[in-house]
Amino acid sequence: MPCPTDRHYADTHEWHKLDGDIVTLGISKFAADELTDITYVEMREPGTEIEAGDPVGEVESVKATSEVYAAVSGVIAEVNELLADDPGLVNRDAFDNGWLCKIKVADATALDGLMDGAAYDARHPA
């Protein structure tokens, strides 16, 4: 299934969806599948200031622990509380209910340097 086209994709498999001054961040279905069953998600606390390229948290799976990076600077506004009890939601619904955190941004132009859905799909064919 093609990736949603309403967002921006990083080389490191995070998707970023801009809505006003909020960027919602998650990992692609491809990345979630590669990680296998996700067992734990820990994002940095709401209120934390982050710079573009900083890790915003970690995702652990049966196989590996991976850092998650944000491509934008801003402040963590919210983390997905559903994942505390149900980290597998990232595997089942990576692009929607399995989002990881929301970041309040002043400037979202950094997203223009990322891939669109078609470019990401071309790189990681399902």
Partner 1 sequence: MLHTPFYDYHISQNARMVDFAGWQMPIMYTSIVQEHEQVRTSGGMFDVSHMGRVYFRGQDARRFLERICTRRISNMAHGQCRYSLICNEQGGVRDDVLVYRMGDDDFMLVVNAANRTKLLEHFRQHSAGLSVTMDDRTEKSAMLAIQGPRVMDVIGRFSDEIPSLKKYRFTTKSLLLFKVTVSRTGYTGEDGVEVILPANVAPTAIKMMLDKGGDAGQIIKPIGLGARDTLRLEAGMPLYGHEMGEETDPISAGLMFGINLDKDEHEDGEPFIGQDALKAIHANGPTNRLVGLFLDTRRTARQDMPVLHNDGTVGRVTSGCTSPTLERSIAMAYVPAELTEPGTIVQVDLGKQAVDAEVCALPFYKRPKPVAT
Q: Footprint of partner 1 on this chain (CB under 8 A)? A: 33, 36-37, 39-40, 42, 60, 62-65, 88, 91
Q: Least distance in Å: CB of 120 to partner 1?
A: 19
Residues 95 and 120: beta-carbon distance below 8 Å: no
- Name the minimum Å distance from CB 30 to partner 1: 12
Question: Nearer to partner 1 by C-beta: 48 or 116?
Answer: 48
State the Cα–Cα distance between residues 14 and 25, nearest whole angstrom.
Answer: 7
To partner 1, the closest distance from the beta carbon of 100 in angstroms equals: 16
Q: How far is the CB of 58 from partner 1 (least distance, A)?
A: 8
Q: Which is nearer to partner 1, 23 or 95 (CB)?
A: 95
Dihedral over Cα of 93, 94, 96, 101: its sign: positive
83/115 with CB nearer partner 1: 83
Q: Which residue matches tokens 């980290």?
A: 87
Here the tokens at position 18 are 């801009």
Q: Write out the two tokens for 104.
A: 């309040």
Q: Which is nearer to partner 1, 5 or 36 (CB)?
A: 36
